Chains A and B, each alone.
Chain A
Amino acid sequence: MTIDIHVHPLSLDPNSLPGQFQIFENVGRRLGIDLFCLMGHVTVGGYDPTQRDVVRINDFTLRMVSERPDLFLGFCYLSPKHSERFMASEYRRCVEKGPLQGVKLWVSVCCTDPRLEPLMHWVSSSGVPILHHAWYKSVGHAFHESNPAQVAEWASRYPDVKIIMAHLTGAGVRGVLDVASCKNVFVDTSGSQPAAGILEYAVSVLGSERILFGSDAGGRDFSVQMARVQCARIGMRAKRRILGGNAAKLLKRAPFTMEAFR
């Protein structure tokens, strides 16, 4: 089973849904991707989304997952800048009572911000992972963008919460080393161009068990992002883990057998 842990809807226009389903179906068939994990169309709300943006983004993810559970998983998008009450209601709606499998956080606040605390207790209780954007940028960070050292600091405070640090290429060598000792941190393969060598390095430092295939499409090309795993000089077993085995273990609530799809 191959799982793309990091994709985004291509639009929030309900009329685009049949077309989007077709695109994901075709990509899945062509590249052998069985499930796409939706992180929400987060750019719609910008770096600092309103509560209304968050609800709209999650509504669409819920709709895609509900209509095509054979094709999609989804994470609940939240901004810790919003009130604890609002976050709790959205988390309950999407994850506790809904079908979403985890939480996606982007750049509205840094991951070390104390406003994440209640959320960390909820995900800890539910046993679902958080996917958090992170990047080392030499050109300056976007809004309250987190870097891998901050992810490591945050993750060490919550060792029982599984954290997926997005963007291996953005993390780079330093970022891989930052999170190496945090066994609860996983890294997805997305980010920037398909730079040669960084995946091999991450496997040598973290082990293939802590790396997940993520394309970050639609802003990226599925086939290019898949190729960065397929082209890496790592063993077939490691590739299988990265392409889906690790995600299947991490997302325990997903229907991970083909029988479940029929």
Chain B
Amino acid sequence: MNVLDMPVIDMNVSLGHWPFEPMRPQSGRQLKRHLENQGIVRAVVSSLDSVLYREPQWGNEALYRSAARYEGLFPCCVVNPSLPNWESVLMAGIEAGCRMVKLYPNYHQYELSHVAVDELVSSCERESLLIALSIRVEDERAHPAIMKVPATSIEGILGLAERWSERIFLVLCPTLAEVQRLAEKPNLVFEISHVEHLNSLATLFETVPSRRIVFGSHTPFLYTGAALAKLSDPAVSDADRRQVAFEVANRLLQMPGGHAML
């Protein structure tokens, strides 16, 4: 257990390589141990390689062979719906046990208004898969000059949420200002890794209730413990803390048994 004395599900973990710096942990085993040391019992893990590989499936397959072997690490497939093979990538992810699909519209260079995105959402709806939309991987200000990638369009996310108003989407790595812009859509749920303000969580609750917020560390880019520190905000009630730490994530991933499973 962690310092919070409650189970924590991390909804935003990546494993793999990044061309500009060595990433740690580097293997499923190391990641499992790292998260356990932090008191994180379950994590949804996607392939970092899939962000930049020409074929995201190459990274997904490596992930399924590594992280997915460890109890508590749930694989998440990265899909690029602008590629003609997205359906087979999605099916392979389902076969590998994925409960979540991660999209990187900014890195894969498509708009969320792309017709294939709606087809993907439709398929995910049929398969009860959660869709996560990544806004960024790194702070845009720190991007190397050779690879400047603007954040995923907020208007694009609002449009998608509008078209699929009965469908929940998880937004990864939004800042507080971006959450404030997106909060009007009740079908958007937010991860906390990039929300930072004096009393981060309490401030976030002024915009969205805890039932729309999940814990995410954005490991390995950010310190896992830094996101956990947000959960320890004394201005937050234990009930809200539990929601963010694991209850909302449990519901999103449709894990029967909820807390008992942890």
Contacts and interface: CB of A to CB of B under 8 A. Distances in A.
B225 interface: yes
Interface of A: 10, 23, 26, 30, 135-139, 169-170, 172-173, 192-197, 217-224, 226-228, 230-232
B199 A193 contact: no
20 contacts: A26-B234, A136-B142, A137-B141, A138-B141, A170-B141, A170-B142, A172-B142, A193-B194, A193-B221, A193-B226, A194-B223, A195-B222, A196-B221, A196-B223, A218-B198, A221-B198, A222-B198, A223-B229, A224-B226, A231-B223
A169 B21 contact: no
Nearest to A218: B198
B199 A221 contact: yes
Chain B's interface: helix, strand, loop or mixed, by majority?
loop
Interface of B: 21-22, 24, 138-145, 148, 193-194, 196-200, 218-230, 232-234
A223 B139 contact: no
B221 A221 contact: no
A198 B132 CA distance: 28
A95 to B, nearest CB: 28
Contacts of B225: 227, 230-231
B140 A139 contact: yes
Nearest to B141: A137
Contacts, number: 93
Which of the listed residues A196, A197, A231 has the most CB atoms from chain B within 10 Å of its own CB? A196
Nearest to A135: B141
A138 B144 contact: yes
A226 B229 contact: yes
A192 B229 contact: no
Contacts of B140: 138-139
Contacts of B21: 173, 197
A215 to B, nearest CB: 10
A228 B200 CA distance: 15
Given A194-B223, A219-B198, 8 more contacts: A173-B21, A192-B139, A196-B219, A217-B198, A224-B200, A227-B228, A228-B226, A231-B223
A19 B143 CA distance: 38
A224 B196 contact: yes
Nearest to B231: A223
Contacts of A169: 139, 142
Contact of A224 (B138, B220, B229): B229
Contacts of A221: 196-200, 229-230
Contacts of A173: 21
B27 to A, nearest CB: 16
A137 B218 CA distance: 21
B223 A223 contact: no
Contacts of A10: 198
Which of the listed residues B141, B196, B200, B233 has the most CB atoms from chain A within 10 Å of its own CB? B141
Nearest to A192: B139
A224 to B, nearest CB: 5
Contact of A196 (B148, B196, B222, B234): B222
A223 B142 CA distance: 23
Contacts of A138: 140-145, 148
B223 A228 contact: yes
B197 to A, nearest CB: 6
Contacts of A30: 234
Contacts of A195: 138-139, 142, 221-223
Contacts of A192: 139, 141-142
B145 to A, nearest CB: 6
Contacts of A196: 24, 219-223
Contacts of A136: 142
B132 to A, nearest CB: 18
Contacts of B222: 193-196
A10 B197 CA distance: 12
Nearest to A138: B143
A170 B224 CA distance: 20
